[in-house]
């Protein structure tokens, strides 16, 4: 009886080790999540203000065209928008695949009256800032 229990435990241990090595495969994706200080909804996209690790404010521009679904453009979108009321909002997660920018996901407050939303009309002419093909961020 002891021998049967020992063999069963050994088999279970080997199964766990085998499964953990399968789960440990390295993903081609790297993701970083960053809090948003302020977001501006513009007719050409979103202007996002975030803070770096050394407490400097940086800005990124995400074109509206990046949010097109695969059925519209034939390509996987470069950007996704998640609206909600989660207390952690607003923030974004940026994804790199094999070291190259792949896509960004914005998590924004659904209520446009929330203090995280800014008034884009106060920014002046920023249209040319939305002419981007990729994102390069400073952290």
First to last CA, the chain: 60
Across 18-29, average pLDDT: 66
Looking at every residue in the chain, the average pLDDT score rounds to 85
Tens digit of each residue's pLDDT (9 = 90 or more) over 117-138: 999 989 999 999 999 999 988 8
Peptide bond into 90 cis (omega under 30): yes
Length of the chain equals 139
Nearest CA to 49 out of 10, 11, 86, 90 is that of 90
Residues 6 or more apart whose Cβ sits within 8 Å of residue 82: 105, 106, 107, 108
More reliable by pLDDT, 20 or 54 = 54
Is 25's pLDDT higher than 70? yes
Q: What is the pTM of this model?
A: 0.78
């Amino acid at each position: 009886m002891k021998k049967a229990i020992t063999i069963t435990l050994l088999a279970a241990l080997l199964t766990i080790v085998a499964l953990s090595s399968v789960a440990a495969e390295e993903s081609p994706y790297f993701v970083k999540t960053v809090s948003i200080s302020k977001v501006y909804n513009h007719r050409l996209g979103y202007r996002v203000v975030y803070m770096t690790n050394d407490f400097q404010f940086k800005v990124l521009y995400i074109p509206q065209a990046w949010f097109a679904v695969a059925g519209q453009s034939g390509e996987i979108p470069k950007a996704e928008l998640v609206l909600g009321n989660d207390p952690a909002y607003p923030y974004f997660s940026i994804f790199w695949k094999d070291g190259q920018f792949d896509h960004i996901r914005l998590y924004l407050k659904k209520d446009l009256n929330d203090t995280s939303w800014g008034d884009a009309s106060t920014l002046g002419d920023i249209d040319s800032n939305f002419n981007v093909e990729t994102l390069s961020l400073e952290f």
